[in-house]
Amino acid sequence: MKKLSVVIGVALATLASVAHAEYPERAVKMVIPYGAGGATDISARTIAEPLGNAVGKPLVMANVTGAGGATGSVSVQNAKADGYTMLFARVGSHSVNPAMKATLPYTLDDFRFVTVYEINPVACAVTPASGIKSMDDLIAKVKEGGVSYSSSGVGSLLHLAGAMVLKEFGIDNPLEAAVHIPQKGGGAAATAVLNGTATFLCTNSSAVAGFVANEQLVPLMVTTPEPVVGFDAPTANDLGKPALNQLVGWTGIAGPDGLPDDVAAKWGEWMAVATEDAKFNETMTSRGSVIQLMNPVDANEFIQTQYETFRQLVDDLGMRIEG
Amino acid sequence: MSFIDSVMAGLSLVSSVEAFLALFVGICIGVVGGAIPGLSATMAVALTLPFTFSMQPITGILLLLGVYKGGIFGGSIPAILIKTPGTPASSATILDGFPLAEKGEAGRALGMALWASCTADLVSNLALIFFAGFLASFALQFGPPEFFALILFSLTIIAGVSGDSLLRGAIAALLGLLLATVGLDLVYGTNRFTFEDPNLMGGLNFIAVLIGLFALPEIIAMAWNPVAHLGQTRSLGKSKVTITDYKRSFKSIVRGSLIGVFLGSIPGIGAAPSAFLSYSEARRKSPNKDNFGNGEIEGVAASEAGNNGVAGATLIPLLALGIPGDVITAIIIGAFMVHGLQPGPMMFVLNVDIVYGLFIGLIVSSVFLFLVGSVAIKGFKFVADVPKRILMPAVLVLCIYGVFAVNNNIFDVGVMFAMGWVGYVMMRMRVPAAPFLIAFILGPLLEDNFRQAMLMSGSDPMILIRGPITWFFWTLTVIALVAITRTVVKGTVTAGN
């Protein structure tokens, strides 16, 4: 009898501990809304190892691609807000797209950001053959006419960046002054400048670092306040355009809107541990990223500010996509 | 540094057990990965990528290249055995490979696929080593107008894979074009035929369409009439490819390899169009024209040469310019960057040992592919002996799993089943599936490049004939159209008499 009561006691204790078990009890599904090998994918898979150690449960990485990150984002938007389905959010899917596309099936309010951990400076570049050596040269060319810029698609960071940079440099109607030639993907966008289809592009510095090192492209400017290693170009602040500091890429993690506070707090702690990892830092920095960890509150504010800036620009220029 | 020095530097880099082991293991992973429907070569490479981060650069990159090459060949195994392309590039192999398997010559078809793949692989690697600089500078001259002319010409291959009725082929192609328009508009970013469903915003998943169109109709037909196949001779895979077969197909293999090298070195086209182009050229030149589509060994050879010819050549824009030509090389370029290597002209100066190490590894990879492929064929060809009532349900399970795994999206499985019924109706109406697929692949490329060209020129159509490359493809297109018209007219006159 005594034995039995001990067994029952143990069983009850186990049950109780299950009921009070702390998040996470099981594996967490991490949706990457872009394809394998892209900037988001590599960033996500690099953080996955130290992050998985911090979480203590497996992270199941799933690429759900399509429609500029919208398909994957929607799958998390519609998931249960229990912290077991999280999203690697990116500048394209969560600030440019919401600012530009009226028909997007989600808004920023449908997500709760738990962190932003990586910032990617944006660089503008041209080919050496173009004869353009500085932003002033480029702007002079734009005023002459016949200048075009490539992007990875409508509603991408590159699309917005081209227009925003021209506007900051005093071109009032960048949509008419320069032709936007959308491509399918970031690689194709860089190729379009290399083969002369487009005159310039503004994109994540990591996407053109190889071409700059190989002297196939000439960088004209980077948008961060600090210079970028390997880019022999002035910063936006050097050129007196600090407003362009807003124009940076980033990667963060978000859950559905109703994510509980304690879950968000947990992610904040885990990310603090994960981003300390030396190998993670080394890999990301060598790819041109700046590791900058934000807690849930800062992350939300950062994204909101960027969204407002982009939204303002989109409205001013009439770039909003309605159909 | 002289050529010999470079080669020696490369040799010292790869002459380690690990490097060759990585290459060998890579090819094994690739062949198996490619052979599983849905788990395409692209996914196999993507899944292998994280393992290479901790390796020596050359070892890691050789591992990925091994997976890539193995995957492209491996895709032909299910294409021949169960009419399911393991990887999009092997869809042309189905056209003659599956009829051969139905005739009980699976072993012969698989053997030819391997021989053609290895030959094309070798040609492609040699082209990379000797003509990388030349082909790369040529590829950079391909802007939207040149692409438009090339793809317009490629669309004429629809006539070559339409079977006996050009009209039915054209209907299939139109259907393919229509479904390819689903998704976001390239220039305006607006929704097209998405019916407010976010799942349709990214367009129809290519793998889901592919598997639905080819594999499912067979399964539906089987479920419809479970005893129809009894009494047919399907066993066994004992037949083997002969030297005579190889000799007879040699011309087509070389032609296919060169088409592969050419299309592979231009970023943005990929292996599937190359396989179809090679197939249709082989058919056009062959004395056994009528046998194509009914189990012609030369057709298998041409398709496999066409897709494997791309494998080495896609490294031309990658190494010489730092431009990834397709999704797979985009992943591989990630591996270079993780190791602090930046592919491009400077790599031939700064990391010449790695470049030559890769070249040596690539040449060896053709041999490894032959060895691994031979063993794989021995193992897999017995699938042809499995009774259909057991095989078909197993294929269905694999298809569902594979299509789900592509994008972790159950919607894609629905697309696969819907396309399965479309494919079944097409099969019953004797509408060929290949033109549908070609239009589905090439249609968006044609449209995008046309619209990019129009943006470049401010809507002046003269840009479409702006240089010798465009003139060349326009001429080819006209010649092909005249030839097709003559065949059709001749056919009508003969039928009229």
Asked if A214 and B322 come within 8 Å (Cβ–Cβ), the reply is yes
| A323 located within any domain | no
Q: How many CA atoms lie within 13 A of B352 on its CB side?
A: 11
**A152, A229: one domain:** yes
Q: Hey, are the CB atoms on A210 and B185 less than 8 Å from each other? A: no
Check the CA dihedral B197-B199-B202-B205 and report its sign.
Answer: negative
Q: Which of A35-39, B182-186, B188-192 has the lowest mean pLDDT?
A: A35-39
Does residue A6 belong to any structural domain of this protein?
Answer: no
Number of domains making up chain A: 2
Written in H, E and C, the secondary structure of B90-110 is HHHHHHHHHHHHHCCCHHHHH
Same domain (yes/no): A213, A254: no
Give the whole-angstrom CA distance, residue B230 versus residue B411.
35
Looking from the CA of A269 toward its CB, the CA atoms found within 13 Å total: 11
Q: List chain A residues with CB under 8 Å of B321.
A: 194, 216
**In this structure, is the dihedral angle defined by the CA atoms of residues B486, B492, B496 and B497, taken in order, positive or negative?**
positive
pTM: 0.87
Q: pLDDT at position B74, please?
A: 93
What does the domain layout of chain B look like in residue ranges? 3-496
Mean pLDDT across B422-430: 94
**Nearest CA-CA partner of B331 in B123, B63, B15, B125:** B63
Instruction: Give φ, ψ of B197 to 5 degrees.
Output: -100, 115
> Which residue among A75, A100, A283 sits closest to B338, beta carbon to beta carbon?
A283
A322 contacts in chain B (CB < 8 Å): 190
Residue A28: both structure tokens together:
């967490």
What pLDDT is recorded for position B82?
Answer: 87
Chain length of chain A: 323
State the Cα–Cα distance between residues B295 and A230, nearest whole angstrom: 57
The pair of structure tokens assigned to A279 is: 């190998």
End-to-end alpha carbon distance in chain B: 72
- Residue B441 CA, chain-centre distance (Å), reads 11
Within this chain, do residues A114 and A171 fall inside the same structural domain, yes or no?
no
pLDDT category of residue B231 using cuts at 50, 70 and 90: low
**What CATH number is given to the structural domain containing A224?**
3.40.190.10
Interface of B with A in 107-126 (CB under 8 A): none
Cα-trace Rg, chain B: 22
A212 and A115 together in one domain: no
**Together in a domain, A306 and A275:** yes
pLDDT at B429: 93
Residue B237: the pLDDT is 54
Distance, in Å, from the CA atom of B367 to the CA atom of B1, rounded to the nearest integer, reads: 29
Token pair listed for B359: 């070249």
> Cis (ω within 30 of 0) for the bond into B236?
yes
Largest CA distance in chain B: 72
Residues A90 and A192 in one domain: no
Q: Say if the Cβ atoms of A197 and B144 lie within 8 Å.
A: yes
One digit per residue, pLDDT tens: chain A, 323 residues? 455 555 555 454 444 444 446 888 999 999 999 887 678 888 898 899 899 999 999 899 888 888 888 999 999 999 999 999 999 999 999 999 999 998 899 999 999 999 999 999 999 999 999 999 999 999 999 999 999 999 988 888 999 999 999 999 999 999 999 999 999 888 889 989 999 999 999 999 888 888 998 899 999 999 999 998 889 999 999 999 999 999 999 999 999 999 999 999 999 999 999 999 998 898 888 777 889 999 999 999 999 999 999 999 999 999 998 86
State how far the alpha carbon of A49 is from the alpha carbons of A7, A202, A267, A283, B93, in Å.
39, 31, 15, 12, 40
Q: Give the closest-approach CA distance of B197 to chain A in angstroms.
A: 9
* B338, B346, B455 ranked by CB distance to A179: nearest: B455
Residue B381 in 3-state DSSP? helix
Contact B331 A36 (CB under 8 A): yes
Amino acid identity at A315: D
What was the pLDDT predicted at A302?
94
Return d(Cα B275, Cα B172) in angstroms, integer.
Answer: 19
Please indicate, yes or no, if residue A263 is contained in any of the structural domains. yes
What is the pLDDT at residue B333?
84
Examine residue A11 and state whether it is found in any structural domain, yes or no.
no
B10-66 pLDDT, tens digit each: 787 777 888 999 999 999 999 998 888 767 788 888 888 878 878 888 999 999 999
pLDDT at B229: 65
Phi first, then psi, for residue A55 (nearest 5°) are -70, -40
DSSP state of A222: E
Shared domain check, A263 and A202: no
Give the end of a domain, one of A216, A246, A276.
A246
Query: Does one domain contain both A208 and A138?
Result: yes
pLDDT (0 to 100) of residue B298: 94
Q: Which two tokens stand for residue A309?
A: 């800036």
Q: What angle do CA A90, A152, A62 make, to 5 degrees?
A: 40
In a domain, A8, yes or no: no
Nearest to A123 by CA among A82, A64, A165, A152: A165
Q: How many CB atoms lie within 10 A of CB A240?
A: 10
**Tokens coding B62:** 């050789």
Place of tokens 């795994």: B405
Averaged pLDDT, B278-305? 91
Q: pLDDT (tens digit, 9 = 90+) per residue, B194-213?
A: 888 888 988 898 889 988 99
Choose among A176, A222, A217, A183: nearest CA to A200. Answer: A217
Eight-state DSSP code of residue A292: E
Residue B8 exposed, middle or buried by CB count within 10 Å (0-12, 13-18, 19+): middle
Name the percent of chain B lying above pLDDT 90.
46
Q: What pLDDT was estimated at residue A19?
A: 43
Instruction: Identify the domain containing residue A109 by its residue range.
Output: 28-119+248-317
Residue A95 DSSP class: I
Tokens matching residue A88: 């690697």
Q: Are residues A32 and A98 in the same domain?
A: yes
Tokens of B202: 């990214």
Q: How far apart are CA B244 and CA B223, in angstroms?
A: 39
Contacts of A12 (CB under 8 A, 6+ apart): none
Chains A, B: CB contacts under 8 A, how many? 152
Q: For residues A283 and A48, give the distance between their C-alpha atoms in angstroms, rounded to a whole number.
A: 13
**How many other C-beta atoms lie within 10 A of the C-beta of residue B445?**
21
Task: Give the model's pLDDT for residue B457.
Answer: 92
Positive or negative: CA dihedral B478, B481, B485, B487: positive
Q: Using an 8 Å Cβ cutoff, are B104 and B66 in contact?
A: no
Q: Are residues A147 and A296 in the same domain?
A: no
Burial of A227 (0-12, 13-18, 19+ CB in 10 A): middle
**What span, in angstroms and rounded, lies between the C-alpha atoms of B292 and B280?**
9
The answer to whether B10 contacts chain A (CB < 8 Å) is: no
Domain boundary among the residues A246, A265, A289 is at: A246
- Decide: helix, strand or coil at residue A237: coil
Last residue of a domain, which of A203, A222, A246? A246
Within-domain flag for A228 = yes
Tokens coding A290? 């700046």
Six-digit token string for B187: 């220039």
Give me the interface pTM, i.e. the ipTM. Answer: 0.84
The Cα of A170 is separated from the nearest Cα of chain B by a number of Å equal to: 23
